[in-house]
Amino acid sequence: MRYTVKVTVLRRLYHKDLYEQYGQTAGTPCTKVADGQEFIVGVDATMPDGFCSWAWSEIFHYVLVLARGGDLHGAKPGVFIASCADGYRPVLFLLERMGPGAPPHGGAAAPRPQRESLG
């Protein structure tokens, strides 16, 4: 089954100390997105209009796992926190699987079938 995925901008961070030490110009938090901004990724799992292509290249594989019904290690079923790779000003994204049959945020996923033992 395929699902839509909601991508929410949780936080835009800015490491002023790193910019001052290693950057060439004065920096700011990312200006391509805003805290709280939401994007919906359709069942085709293509980048939503207006989304940063650099950030998309970093989070796409996590979005795809959720969109195809999978879960990610260490996260509650149907959700994951991902980030872009800009070390000076990273952005944290909340990814949430949506749609019929998707577990509620933080809820339990449907039980997975058990594999038979090979031994």
What is the C-alpha to C-alpha distance for residues 109 and 97, in angstroms, rounded to an integer?
A: 11
Mean pLDDT of 8-34: 91
Question: Is residue 111 included in any domain, yes or no?
Answer: no
22-56 pLDDT per residue, tens: 988 778 899 999 999 999 999 999 999 999 999 99
Q: Please report whether residue 45 resides in a domain.
A: yes
Domain count, the chain: 1
CA distance 96 to 66: 8
> Is 75 a domain residue?
yes
21 found inside a domain: yes
> What is the model's pLDDT at position 52?
95
Dist CA 52 CA 31 (whole Å): 10
Is 114 within the bounds of a domain? no
Q: Would 27 be classed as within a structural domain? A: yes
Q: Comparing 38-47, 60-69, 106-115, which segment has the lowest mean pLDDT? A: 106-115
Q: What domain range includes position 10?
A: 4-98
pLDDT above 50 (res 113) = no
The predicted pLDDT at position 13 comes to 95
Q: Does 118 map to a domain? A: no
Question: Could you tell me the pTM of the whole model?
Answer: 0.82
